[in-house]
Amino acid sequence: MKCQRCHGMMIREAVFTKQGEAAVLKCVQCGSVIDPVAVANEKRRRLRSKKKAPPAQKAPLRFAG
């Protein structure tokens, strides 16, 4: 897998928390960490906001002249 930030190589790493062990992906180049739980929560949040948001309206084009 490639890092979204720098396109470097991602490795699986074990992280120990109070709740136990968790697996995350970490970029060997820039150090960016991807937590699968955080990614799932972000996807869920985006889906909820899309359902609530009204459709976007395009602003009329104005030309300087």
Question: What pLDDT score was predicted for residue 50?
Answer: 75
Q: Which amino acid is at 49?
A: S
Question: What pLDDT score was predicted for residue 20?
Answer: 87
Global model pTM greater than 0.85: no
The two three-digit tokens of residue 26, written as one number: 């970490």
Handedness of CA 34, 36, 40, 45 (dihedral sign): negative
Tokens 């084009």 correspond to 61
User: pLDDT (tens digit, 0 to 9) for every residue of the chain, 65 residues total?
Assistant: 899 899 999 999 998 888 888 899 999 999 999 988 888 888 999 888 877 656 666 766 676 65
Q: Provide the residue ranges of all domains of the chain, joining segments of one domain with +.
A: 10-49
Tokens 């897998």 correspond to 1
Question: What pLDDT score was predicted for residue 56?
Answer: 64
Question: What pLDDT score was predicted for residue 48?
Answer: 85
Tokens 């699986």 correspond to 12
Q: What is the DSSP letter of 14?
A: E
